[in-house]
Homo-oligomer: A and B are copies of this chain.
Amino acid sequence: MSPKYKLTYFNGKGIGESLRWLLAYSGEEFEDIRFTIEEWPSIKPTIPYGKLPVLDIDGKKASQSVALARYLGKQAGLGGKDLWEDLQIDIIVDTIGDFRNELKSLKLRQDKDEKVKAEKIEKFAKEIIPFYMNKLDAIVKENHGYVANGKLSWGDIYLVSMVDFVSTFIARDLLTPYSNLAALQKKITSIPKIKAWIDKRPDSEF
């Protein structure tokens, strides 16, 4: 019997969206529990480590979005064929993590001043986005259209879902100048089960 999944996260894509894509890809039904940012302070103390997302698998709670994406991805047959191939996927996923940490360090949510916020986004778009997207685009080119090992892995789904989140959050197109990444995005978002999820998911601001 398929395990019972319950995903708890904010009402947004963020770092939880990759788990929704991987569950959708696997054909797993899951309960999609969403909180608003306003509700969070009162819920935080009830969450292990006080951090979202949390995935409940048959009643056992697990946290840490990247660890969970690896788990769901490998369970769906989207891991490498050996430790070396897994390493290649993990390197890219942790590089995307560095990119996300750069965004996080801007603390955009705390900015009350819209001008300050717009300036930070402008700097991020000019310096950080090209640095990472150039490298990732070259890697996807080298790997024949995928992030690693010349074949589809959970790393591809992770990357495209993260770009989807960041694009929404900062209201910028990230990929147009990067043809290999743009082609990968099209490929992933055209996978029928992922497309079906994107079509039916609730709208969100990030």
A residues contacting B by CB (< 8 A) are 49, 51, 62-64, 66-68, 70-71, 74-75, 83-84, 86-87, 90-91, 93-95, 98, 101, 105, 135
Contacts and interface: CB of A to CB of B under 8 A. Distances in A.
In the complex, the count of this chain's copies comes to 2
B83 A74 contact: yes
A137 to B, nearest CB: 14
A90 B49 CA distance: 15
Contacts of A74: 83, 86
B70 A91 contact: no
Given A67-B90, A70-B90, A49 B95 contact: yes
Overall SS of chain A's interface: helix
Given A49-B135, A135-B49, A67 B94 contact: yes
A2 B94 CA distance: 27
Contact of A94 (B66, B83, B91, B105): B66
A67 B91 contact: yes
A38 to B, nearest CB: 23
